[in-house]
Structures are given as structure tokens and as C-alpha cells.
Structure 1
Amino acid sequence: MIKQLARALLVGAALAVASLAGAQDWPDRPLKLVVPYTAGGQFDVVARMVAERMQRTLGQPVVVENKPGGATLLGADYVAKSKPDGYTLFYAGANAFAIAPHLFAKVPFQRGDFETISLVSELPMGLVVSGQLPVRTLEEFVAYAKANPGKVNFGTSGSGGAQHLLCELVKDRAGIDMVHVGYKGTSQVLQDLLPGRVSAACDGLLAYAPHAKAGAVRILAVSSAKRLPALPDVPTFAEKGLPDATVASWGGIMVPAGVPAPVRARLVEAVTAAASAPEVQQRIASDAAVPRTTTPEEFDAVIRADHEKWGDVIRKLGLAGSK
């Protein structure tokens, strides 16, 4: 018995030493950062900035790989099933961890399949309408939709995500009838929004801001608690009498559960350094988002709070388990 115990302790110690040695050599090859959205959208742009800065800290390239689809569940599932060696990272948002567990009858992974690294930004969203639509304010949009029931549609980058739920909230609270059209990503939404094939969109605002300046689209309201410095003339939903639409998504980096503690610690250091760089924070703010870094524990708390908040929204809308 004593010999068996001693042997088990020796094996455990050997494994710990091997793990530590491997962690000291890490990284010795490029890392992969999986983004569950198409290229060019707000998540993708910020992820690429952070990936480039992480390379400076880690000494290895961090390659962004886009895996859109399934309200971000496809990308999340891919990472959940990846080897927990610190070489595969996930640029996570609220959709996979705070929304999907309530909205979908079955999700192919568990929250426990992931460990947090750090938040990068909070992502307020907005209601954007085509310049072809004869409205300039949220009040005019609501009046137009009520006068044309069932004829107004809205596009989002996927069914069941935060963007979709924001428009459903507006639809419910304003008492209007709109038809949802799901797309793979923001660029596809814009392709139909600009010529007016879809009337409106709920989304992060990075890709829409240049078109708003050109008059091709109009941003009617934002979902943040306060007006965004990058869009000072755009009112909040709360200002317009829709306080329930004060919601936000977020972007942050996670890894498959089981990554060795020393490797996870180095990732925390690299991500927070990258996301805290002045040029990155300035770019995030200029893109109508809010820069924010956290400890893993703080990130965990954000997920728990948003899981409860979005669950309440989904239940009130009668959408629980509807997908």
C-alpha cells in the first residue's frame, strides 16, 4: 500500500514537472484566435488588433480564424473541443454564454468547457435604418412601422444573438410589427440595408458609422446607458422612452478548460497588455464601443450577471427554448 502510494506520488510529481516544463517552453508555435463572426465586423476588427499586439508579448503570431454561424455556437463548439494547450483561443461574446443557454433547446457545449482570460470591450448596439426609409428619428420609425404592419423587416448577424434580441425588445416595447431576416455577418446585412432591401438592422455600430456619415444609413438610437463619445448626436433608447433596450454585448478572450495554470497566466498578461495599449483603447472608443479589461474572476462575474439578465429578457419575450 505504501509502495503504491509512493509510486502514485512520484507519477503525479513527474507529470507536474512535465507540465511546468511544457509551460515554460510555451508558446513555441503560432496561436489561433477563433472569431465566431465574419471578417470585417466589429468583433473581428477588435480581435485582429488585440491579436497583433499579443504577438509582441508572446513572440509568436496570433492568427485570427473566422468561424461564423449558429449565433456564434459553431465557433464556440470548435474551441470547446480543441486541445487545452493554450494554442487555441476564443474571442467570446454574450451570445454563446449568456443568451444561447436560454434561447436554444440544446447547446453543444457547457460553460464549464471554457476558462476566461480577460474582457476586451463592451459593445453597445444600435438601431440602424436604411437611408431609403423615409424616417430620421426613432419616433418616426415607430410611426412608420405602425402604419405599415408586416412590411418593415430588420436584419441581424444571426438568429438568436444579442443583436436579434435587441430588435425583438424594440419591437415588443414599441408595439410594432417587424419581420426578422438573419444573415451570417454584418457585411451581408449592409449589402441589403444600403439599397433598402431590408429596412433596418440591430448591430454593433463600427461598420455602419461611415455609411451614417455619408447619409446612406441612419443610426436612430444606441443601447448604451449614456450617449457614446463617438456618436454624440445619437440618443440612447432610454432617452427615447425604451429603457428596457439598455443592453450591451461584450468581447473577451477565453480558452478551453484545462489549460495549464502557467500558460493561462501568460495569456492573461498578454491579453490585458494588448487590450490596454493606448492605440487599441482609442480605436475601440472611436468605433463606438467601450474599452474594458478584467481579471478572469471579474470576467466570470460579468458572464453570470449577463446570463441572468438576458435570461430574464428571453423569458419576458416568450422565447425561452424557441430555437
Structure 2
Amino acid sequence: MKRLRSTVPCLLAVAALSLIAAAPQARANEPSNWPDRLIKLVVPFPAGSVTDRIGRVLAQRLETNLKQPVVVENRPGAGATIGSDYVAKSRPDGYTVLLGANASHAVNVAFMKLPYDPVSSFEPISLVAAVPSVLMVNPGVAARNVNELLALAKASSGKLTYTSAGIGTTGHLGMEMLASMAGVQLLHVPAKGPAQALQDVMAGHVDMLIESIALSAPVVKDGRLRGLAITAQQRSPALPELPTLSEAGLPGYELLLWFALYAPAGTPQDIVAKLHAETARIFADPAVRDPLVRDGVTVVAGTPRELADFQRSEIDKFGTLIRKLNLDLKQ
């Protein structure tokens, strides 16, 4: 299979320097009167999700730095398109912004008719963070590592099952990419959200899943599920004992959840610049960055141009993957 990789590792090298450089400039070139009232940060996922957690950290610090209220407004549904469409159609004045993700700005475009254009309907502000996922199995599955799991899959002729948070989610695409790279067949049993997916594997109704490390780490650490590998190119401090899938026998495998800050298209560039500078300043603070890193989150806080380029590469990557695997995501 053609090697499909994101550009996050490249961005990290640039971001490490830009985080330091951006902080002293956070007050430079400020708009003369923005903000002078409440700002809404729309999260197109439910409260309690990884996106929601990062959004609330960002909102709290923006409120302190900008000296205006910043409230998180959860608008989940339809694969994150409801909240994203709301922001796309909002007034481009800097008072409504979006914390988007893979689903809303890269994956959905490959199989959905969206009510917005994920590129032209938004002003990119910053790629905020990326989060790896974990390949996990029920403890009753006779596989203690990736090689044993793949051998079991090859011997079972498509009888091994996996679940995901739903059709077209990162967990679904990640398992299909794994199956394609390994040359095995797996049966997809989609769940209604990540909580049900985890519960179905813990209960033994389904054999395995790939889910974000933020949700996976607690159930791996307490033994309810067996972690086999993570989906990033580097090991995670949240589960340092787990190898990457590349180390475990699938070279080049990488799957990351990512979160990015957007404003409606037409938002003045001085406001975009200030929001980016404040975002970089916030995530350069060890008090913000270090707890996220311990939980497996890779902080990026890249520039608007880096986000625009990265998003286009992700649209191409997921589009190619879906076409190559001939996935039917309209179920």
C-alpha cells in the first residue's frame, strides 16, 4: 500500500521554534477595537470529548488574555458538520470561531455533500494539537502483540471483529488502513459513538478497536482492555510501554486525530493574526502544554499557512485512502 503519512512531524520542528518566537509578539499588530464583547468558541463535538477538553482549555486562557468572555458552545452532530456549518455561515467579525478536526475539515469531504466548503468557507488560524490512537483488544483475544493479532486474523478468514465510533470515523478508517496494509480481512461492527465502542469491546461483544489515547489510556492501564500499539510515529508518554504500529510490523502506519482553530471566511487578517499569536502564546505555557503532553496530546500551535497546507494534504490523504479501499461510507 502506498505510504500515507501526515505532515504533523514536520510541523512539530517548526512549531517548537514558533511557539517561543510568537509569545513576545502576541500583542503586536493588534486590531484597534477587537475584541470588545463576548467570543463564542464552537466545538462541533459533545461535551467531554477530547476536542471539548482542548477547546475549554483554550477558551479559558483566551478569556484571560483578551480580557473578554470566551464561551464554549457545543454543537455536535452529523459528523461535526452541524457546528462547522454554523461557524461557516456566521458573521466574519472574530466573535465566532471553530475548533474543527479531521472529520469536519478532511474526512467528510471524501464521502459527504457538505453544506460548506472545508477550505474556502474558513480562515485558517492554527493547527492546535494532534492526538494518536491506540489499537486495543479484549483481554480474551489470543493476541498479546500486533504480530500475534495479524496471525490470528489471517487464520480466522474474516471472522475477527472490530468496532468504531461510527461509519467514516477515524477509528473506522484506521482499522481499514491496518487491514489493507497487513493483508487481512476484518469485520466492522460500528457503534453509536466512542463510549459504546469501548464498552462493546470491554464486554467481549467485539474483538478490537482503535480509539484516541485520551479515552484509551485509562482502560489500558487498569487492564479492562489490552493495548497493542499506538498509531503515531513516536511512542506516547501516556502509554510509553506500547510500541508504534510502525515498530510493531506495519512500517509507515500513522493515524492522528487533529484539532484546528478556524474563523469564518472573510474574517479580517489582523484578527486572524491576533488569534494565532494568542493561541501560540497559550500553548507555549508549560502549565497548559505539559498536562496535555502527559495525556498523549502533541501540541502544535502552527501558523495559518501551515494549517492550510496541512489540511489540503489531509484531504488528499483520506480521499486517496477511501478510494483505494473502495469504502462505502454512506451506510
TM-score interval for Structure 1 and Structure 2 normalised by the shorter chain: 0.7 to 0.9
State the one-letter code of the partner of 1:166: G
Map of 1:118-267 to 2, 5 A cutoff? 118-267=126-275
The 3-state SS of whatever aligns with 1:226 is coil
- Structure-2 residue corresponding to 1:289: 297
1:308 aligns with 2:316: yes
The 3-state SS of whatever aligns with 1:116 is strand
- Structure-2 residue corresponding to 1:8: none
Change (3 A) 1:31 1:130: farther
- Structure-2 residue corresponding to 1:270: 278
| Structure 1 range deviating more: 254-263 or 129-138 | 129-138
- Structure-1 residue corresponding to 2:37: 29
* Structure-1 separation of matches of 2:177 and 2:100: 23
Q: Among 66, 69, 80, which residue is 2:74 paired with?
A: 66
Q: Deviations over 1:11-37 (max 9, x none)?
A: xxxxxxxxxxxx633323322222222
Q: Is the 8 A contact 2:237 2:295 kept in 1?
A: no
Q: Deviations over 1:280-319 (max 9, x none)?
A: 2112211112111111111111112222222222222123
Change (3 A) 1:197 1:62: farther
Q: Is the 8 A contact 1:70 1:159 kept in 2?
A: no
Q: Is the 8 A contact 2:34 2:271 kept in 1?
A: yes
* CA deviation after TM superposition for structure 1 residue 161, in Å: 2.7
Radius of gyration: which is bigger? Answer: 1
* CA deviation after TM superposition for structure 1 residue 53, in Å: 1.3
Q: TM-score, normalised by structure 1?
A: 0.84
Moved >6 Å (runs of 4+): none
* Structure-2 separation of matches of 1:46 and 1:231: 20
Change (3 A) 1:259 1:127: same
* CA deviation after TM superposition for structure 1 residue 230, in Å: 2.5
| Structure 1 range deviating more: 212-221 or 271-280 | 271-280
Q: Is the 8 A contact 2:146 2:249 kept in 1?
A: no
Q: TM-score, normalised by structure 2?
A: 0.82
1:49 aligns with 2:57: yes
Change (3 A) 1:151 1:309: same
Change (3 A) 1:34 1:150: farther
Q: What are the ranges of 5 or more consecutive residues in structure 2 without an aligned counterpart?
A: 1-30
- Overall identity of the aligned pairs, in %: 38
* CA deviation after TM superposition for structure 1 residue 187, in Å: 2.8
Q: Is the 8 A contact 1:166 1:245 kept in 2?
A: no
* Structure-2 separation of matches of 1:103 and 1:179: 21
State the one-letter code of the partner of 2:242: V
| Structure 1 range deviating more: 217-226 or 146-155 | 146-155
Change (3 A) 1:210 1:75: same
* Structure-1 separation of matches of 2:327 and 2:175: 13
- Cα-Cα RMSD: 2.3
* Structure-1 separation of matches of 2:192 and 2:38: 27
* CA deviation after TM superposition for structure 1 residue 321, in Å: 7.7
The 3-state SS of whatever aligns with 1:170 is helix
